[in-house]
Amino acid sequence: MLKNKKLFLFDMDGTIYHEDKLINGALELFSLLEEKNKEYIFITNNSSKSIEVYLEKLKKMGIKVSRDNFFTSAQATIIYLKENKLDKNVYIVGTEAFKKELKENGIEIVEKDKAKNLIVGFDTELHYKKLEDACSLLFDGVNYIATNPDLACPIKDKKFIPDCGSICEMLYLVTKRYPFYIGKPRKEMVEILMKEKGYRREDIVVIGDRLYTDIACGINAGVTSVLVLTGETTKEDLKTTNYLPDFVFESVKEIIKEI
């Protein structure tokens, strides 16, 4: 089946690299996709970094990329805010890179006292004042949106750090409010690309390391899904999940022989 796919949608953290180290076989896989004229795009829920940062990072790792090879939860959030006319009076719990990308795309970011909307992202620059402000706004009843539901972000040595979903869980324990999540597992990230690129569902495969985001996204979008066991998910998790992938591989290296 994978030989016939035309658009490969890859998660990044835990799927093709851990922090600054490529997972074994990733470089060879992308070289093969280039050779066979297969298109690949990185769809990531990580809103802590700008596309420019990802561009530089992957180029340093030896992967051939341009801006067109990326679609992030930050971009999906911008589209959602504009389509729903929520792009004004926005308070951000997120990194400076995330704020910069929003501002460059016309999102009006304000301080807490002027905010009508709260956006939470994967904030690696989180401090307590942001949490206080977010709780205050949630008790005031503002619109509440988050870039992604990921609980943990994989780093090297099979360790993890809190992701956006964990920040939202902490806010829920205080305010009893959950956000509307934008990124994976929602099908829109795949469908936007499918429409822009002119592919059919049967042409597309989603590849990632999380069942409840990557694989669920593929299922929700009606496309083929591939799980790799180099990130958050273990083989034991497959026994209890509602999100069963079409394929399971130890790593992206095993995909090479399939295409």
Q: Is 119 helix (H, G, I), strand (E, B) or coil?
A: strand
pTM metric for this prediction: 0.83
% of the chain surpassing 70 pLDDT: 100
Average pLDDT over residues 86-92: 97
Domain ranges of the chain: 2-45+184-258, 74-181
Q: Do the domains 74-181 and 2-45+184-258 match in fold?
A: yes
Judge: domain 2-45+184-258, CATH 3.40.50.720. Answer: no
**Helix H segments across 86-245?**
96-104, 128-139, 164-175, 188-197, 216-221
Question: Could you tell me which residue, 154 or 99, shows the higher pLDDT?
Answer: 99
Is the confidence at residue 228, as pLDDT, over 90?
Answer: yes
Is the confidence at residue 50, as pLDDT, over 90?
Answer: no
Is the confidence at residue 158, as pLDDT, over 80?
Answer: no
Average per-residue pLDDT in the chain? 95
- Rounded to whole angstroms, the Cα distance separating 167 from 126 reads 9
In what side-by-side order are the strands of the sheet with 39-44?
70-72, 39-44, 7-10, 204-208, 224-228, 247-249
- Rounded to whole angstroms, the Cα distance separating 224 from 171 reads 34
The helix or strand, by DSSP H or E, that contains position 78, with its residue range, turns out to be helix 73-83
% of the chain surpassing 90 pLDDT: 88
Residue 49 is predicted with a pLDDT of 86
Radius of gyration for the alpha carbons in the chain, expressed in angstroms and rounded: 18
Average pLDDT over residues 45-68: 91
Average pLDDT over residues 76-81: 93
Q: Band of the pLDDT at 87, cuts 50, 70, 90?
A: very high
In what side-by-side order are the strands of the sheet with 143-146?
90-93, 117-120, 143-146, 180-181
- Rounded to whole angstroms, the Cα distance separating 46 from 25 reads 22
> Helices 128-139 & 164-175, crossing angle to 10 degrees?
50
**The listed CATH number (3.40.50.300, 3.30.70.3000, 3.40.50.1000, 3.40.718.10) that belongs to domain 74-181:** 3.40.50.1000
